Amino acid sequence: MSQVSHIIIVGAGIGGLSAALAFAKQNVQVTVLEQAECFGEVGAGLQISPNVLKVLRYLGLETELSQYAFTPQHASMRDYKTGDYYLKVPLADQAVHRYGAPYWHLHRADLHRVLVNGCKAAGVEFVLNANMTHYDETAEKSVQVTLDDGRTFAADLLVGADGIHSTVREQMLGYEKATFMGQVAWRGIVPVSELKVQVQPDACVWVGPNRHFVSYYLRGGEYVNFVAVEERDDWRSESWREEGNVAELKQNFSGWHPEVTEILYAASNSFLWALNGRDELPTWHQGRVALLGDACHPMLPFMAQGAAMAIEDAYVLAKCVADCRLSDALIEYEKIRKPRATKIQKMSKANASLYHMHGGLVGKMKLKALKAASQFAPDLIQSKLDPVYGYDVNQL
């Protein structure tokens, strides 16, 4: 039924590669245009919750990825100074039992490499150093992409997977500067061999005044990944990432629990991101063009679902295109994905207040209530995560 035999994907990040592989597995010809001169991912971790692990399973990648994974024992939330637990939800075997798939931690570079290799094996064409300037829908019922060096590529469908500053989104909907969310994130990894304290084998959020810290193991426990988020109102950099001043990072989190300060003490470098967002877009598609991932729904990383949403988008888009006429497929894709992505955007934004101890006495009461629920009504806590982790792209 599909009217698509060839697609172009702009962007070879996690979402773009997932889409490329999903389409290629349906025997669609896929061309991926990537502006970088070579493949490479920043050294940082990803939390792969059961909902996205299922997609990677459907794409045939679970077994290969398992050799790089670390399985956390709990999802936890701890006090920045005392280390007391506000939340401790079991993962490991419990995640498999409850959701039908494990909860993993993966190094972003490992996932990216496995996706690239899977795409190559499936016949995906990669064009590197490809800077798109614009696209045109032609009279021949196709869409043509033009690069800055004059090269052109035509296909039945164009997918913009080119991030928060998407060129595809800008042409579709007009220029709109991304909104700085008043927070920056420092990210890095440290070898476990250089740590002098035992880091708990959990997906842990350390909550504190106006900032929080995330820590978890990578590569079977060989490394600890960290994400340190702080509120800022003075951000002026236009770079989506830059080298962070580690001395400044350590100073900003001085006085925190020894697990946190020891991780930072062992850090020799860090990348610094501004956390940006956008209001809900009026549409994710137009004509023969569709958006996915951060190009249409950038979100704060406070649910650890940014990459997950892009991977889910990719699979659902390919599934819809395979099952329907293109015009109907893109409508169905947005109908399925937009409510879910928007809901998780809102959940992520709401977590900032909790993680950063906002609200004075009311904020403290929320944390105490969370602690009580975690101890005396753990199933209530898990039930709130069920719509996120229990989602299955093949059961829509």
Residue-level pLDDT at 198: 93
Contacts of 353 (CB under 8 A, 6+ apart): 359, 363
Summary count for the chain: helices (H), strands (E): 12, 19
Residue 334 CA to chain centroid, in angstroms? 19
Residue-level pLDDT at 158: 98
72 and 103 Cβ atoms separated by less than 8 Å: yes
Active-site residue (options: 216, 355, 389, 391) = 216
Can you tell me the distance from the alpha carbon of 287 to that of 26, in angstroms, rounded to the nearest whole number? 22
Residue 394 CB-density burial (10 A; 0-12 exposed, 13-18 middle, 19+ buried): exposed
Residue-level pLDDT at 1: 56
Residue-level pLDDT at 45: 94
Residue-level pLDDT at 240: 54
Q: What is the mean pLDDT of each run of 10 residues along the chain (396 residues)?
A: 88 97 97 91 86 98 97 96 94 95 96 97 98 90 95 97 96 92 92 94 96 96 96 69 85 96 94 89 97 96 96 98 95 98 94 88 85 85 91 92
Domain boundaries, the chain: 6-41+106-177+278-350
Residue-level pLDDT at 381: 84
Residue-level pLDDT at 311: 98
Q: What angle do CA 92, 13, 11 make, to 5 degrees?
A: 155
The CA distances from residue 208 to 78, 91, 214, 222, 367, in Å, are: 9, 24, 11, 27, 11
Report residue 165 as tokens. 């500053």
Q: What angle do CA 252, 257, 263 make, to 5 degrees?
A: 70
143 and 154 Cβ atoms separated by less than 8 Å: yes
Residue-level pLDDT at 374: 86
pTM of the complete model: 0.95
Examine the residue annotation and report whether 85 is marked as an active-site residue of this protein. no
CATH class of 6-41+106-177+278-350: alpha beta
